[in-house]
Amino acid sequence: MYYLNMRYIKLFLLLLFPALLWGQENYSGKMSPYTNHFLSSFEYEKRELQKNRFEETAGVEEPNHVMYVNSFIEINDGSDLVRIKECGVKVNSVLGEIITAQVPVDSLQVVAALPDVKRVQIGNPVEEKLDKAREITLVDKVQQGIDLPRSFMGKDVVVGIIDGGFEYGHIDFYASGKEELRIKRVWNQNNASGIPPKDFSYGTELSTISDILSARYDKKSDTHGTHVAGIAIGADMENLYYGVAPQADIVLVSLNKNSADNVAIVDGIKYIYDYAESVNKPCVINLSLGSYLGPHDGTSIFDICCDNLQGKGRLLVGAAGNEGRTNLHVSKTISPSDTLKTFFPSYSCIDIWGEADKTYDMRVVVYSKNTHKTVFTSDIITVSKINQKVYSLSESQDGASGKISITTENNPRNNKANAYLEFRINSIAADHYIGLMIWGEKGKVHVWGDKQTLFSDNEVEGWNEGDTQYTVNEVGGTGKRIISVGAYISKNEYTNIGGESITTGQTVGEIASFSSLGPTADNRMKPDISAPGAAIVSSFSSVMAIQPSQQSALISESVVDRSKFYYGVMSGTSMSAPFITGVLATWLEANPDLTPEDVRSILISTAVKSRDMDENMWGYGKIDAWDGLKEALNLLSVGIQSQTDYQKIIFAPSSGNRKFGIRFMEEDNNVTLSIHTVNGQLVYNQYFNHIPMKHEYSFALPNIDNGIYIISINGNNIDYRSKFIVR
């Protein structure tokens, strides 16, 4: 009997071993480098000593002593979610083949190994990024109804704000009569004391005015969300600082205080759109948030989700970012004999992306400037392969002390080799630097860092300095349908409530020095448009307004029914984005069916632009809310049409052979002809020093795809824009 039992046991083990092996290996390649890094760090740092730091950086929540992390899960078409839920997963948004969920950390690999699961990616961390402004952008004319059928203030439009630091009862969020609160819903994702929204597994929904006012704040340590919301929809019109769409309905989503991530943002977007659909109203959502993890080419899972959620009457606005003077990017066209070499700070997070279908190698070094030699050199890592490396350095041997973590893969969405690196260097010898070397197949490699990472050559010959190009951020600046907003200077001085005059040192009318720059990694123009974003006055949370640290930024206060409400100044693309959000709310009031593509075509037709404006700083130019609203009205009845100097230009679009003809009816100089897709990608550009009267010019674009395009012709006298269709 004993012999038979052993035989059965051996047979059982032989049958079990392949299953065990499958369970271990079948998640390989199904988790992003950042997710693999997360799991590695989790095992290392989940001790109680490290718990608080880990929660702050990774967004882990621990209800009922089970540690969850927000995640995107890509599934096969038609997959049943039962097996995923059996792993303890809390499913939230279902967006076709992508779902958002809270996944038990201990089950991440189990979920990734399921046959119906294509990929698991935990959320990338994100962070927070009007008196003169309304006049300069012609919002005043929109609100007054000058040369319009009536005034437009966002009535019957839902404006969603995903942010944090809200004072729900601020007077700015009431109707102009100060009796009706315009906030219709609040989802506090961080508050677990109440009932979550329908179909979501976390946070607390506030759906009645009494509940919203009783809550008062989402958190008392911040006023960012209050300020952002006031710019878009503030209605305290008895002072100078009301917003752009003061009659819009409001829905607020407060992000998790531990670590806001892009999974929670997607849930918030769906929640707001679902509410707008339930009341049959158009909607525009503001994201004054940022992240620098990702390919910056519109193929990230976050950008794909956002593109799919937008559509007719569903618009999304994002801040381009505030890194216009921060060298958090470096790139180079590498080859086997031409290496990208750069230095960066000891505490850094770095994301590297190559071109599609190309591979490259990399290594990390500790470099001595005194000896011009490397003291520490990592392995050579082929980035297109799955790797996970952790190095522990000691200063006596390696010139630095600390930990380096490297995870790599070939991304299945865009077929680009991707590496995520995290450096926690506690000490480093004098005149020693942490460096990165990349070489391989000829092609361009982009390297981005977090806000603490500044790439530098440290004045070492042959090493590469960082730059500010391609710094539009992943949350608001790289999607193909999101309207990305840069910032310019509408005001450069103000007087605070204490009578102190403060000057910013920037020039009115110029792009803000902090405004992040394009293009995207796939060479689309970003940002799309620019709006006032410096020294913008808007509502302040009352709790924050009385803090000593805020006194220099405090501008004024209002007293209503013996309650004080405050207004203060902030700067950033976090301020320019909600300005555009408010503008789009007025356009949606005029034309509730506007799509992101409609908005982009309106911006092309109406934005204020001069010849010296770099499109990767300004986008299409400065917002003109008034002309834009007229164009939104025109789209209701006219459809695709020419604008401006139609009498000076005769344009003959292709009838199928991709050939085009233009006749210039007037003489002009310094003429630029350009053609863009509705997504902002330049497909043709030609400059003419001089154009004689009745000059004819023809050209062919044999390789362009079918679709809608925008032609722009600008000279000393000509200002022509038109949409046309290629079939």
8 pLDDT exceeds 60?
Answer: no
580 pLDDT exceeds 70?
Answer: yes
Q: What is the reported pLDDT for 659?
A: 81
507 pLDDT exceeds 60?
Answer: yes
Q: Alpha-carbon distance 620 to 483, whole Å?
A: 11
Q: Phi-psi region for residue 436, left (φ > 0), alpha (ψ -120 to 50) or beta?
A: beta
Q: What is the reported pLDDT for 86?
A: 86
Q: Alpha-carbon distance 271 to 277, whole Å?
A: 10
Handedness of CA 245, 529, 704, 657 (dihedral sign): positive
pLDDT tens per residue across span 623-674: 999 999 998 988 875 333 344 555 678 777 655 567 888 888 888 999 998 8
129 pLDDT exceeds 90?
Answer: no
271 pLDDT exceeds 90?
Answer: yes
Give the distance, in angstroms, between the CA of residue 700 and the centroid of all CA atoms in the same chain.
36
Please work out, in degrees rounded to the nearest 5, the angle formed at the alpha carbon of residue 428 by the alpha carbons of 423 and 434. 50
286 pLDDT exceeds 90?
Answer: yes
pLDDT tens per residue across span 371-428: 999 999 999 999 999 999 999 999 889 999 999 999 999 999 999 999 999 999 999 9
Half-sphere exposure of 414 (CA within 13 A, CB side): 21
Q: Where are the beta strands (DSSP E) in 499-583?
A: 501-503, 529-532, 536-540, 554-560, 563-570
Three-state secondary structure call for residue 457: coil
Mean pLDDT of the chain: 86
Domains of the chain: 29-122 (3.30.70), 127-292+305-324+474-498+511-605 (3.40.50.200), 329-449 (2.60.120), 640-726 (2.60.40.3080)
- Comparing 251-260, 350-359, 435-444, the range with the smallest average pLDDT is 251-260
Most confident of 163-177, 329-343, 658-672, 680-694: 329-343
Query: For residue 522, how many other CB atoms are within 10 A of its CB?
Result: 15
Q: Roughly how many angstroms between the first and final C-alpha of the chain, as a whole number?
A: 79
Q: Which two tokens stand for residue 255?
A: 């992000």
Provide mean pLDDT across the span 495-504: 86
pLDDT tens per residue across span 35-54: 888 887 776 555 443 445 44
Q: Alpha-carbon distance 63 to 711, whole Å?
A: 55
Radius of gyration, alpha carbons of the chain = 27
| Residue type at 203 in one-letter notation | G
The residue assigned the tokens 């759906």 is 207
Q: Alpha-carbon distance 476 to 292, whole Å?
A: 10
Cα–Cα distances in Å, from 95 out to 59, 178, 345, 431? 22, 39, 39, 51
Provide mean pLDDT across the span 474-486: 94
pLDDT tens per residue across span 601-618: 999 989 998 888 999 999
Q: 514 with 325: CB under 8 angstroms? A: yes
588 pLDDT exceeds 50?
Answer: yes
356 pLDDT exceeds 80?
Answer: yes
331 pLDDT exceeds 60?
Answer: yes
Paired with 121 in beta bridges are 72
Q: What is the reported pLDDT for 241?
A: 86
Three-state secondary structure call for residue 52: helix
Q: Alpha-carbon distance 466 to 471, whole Å?
A: 11
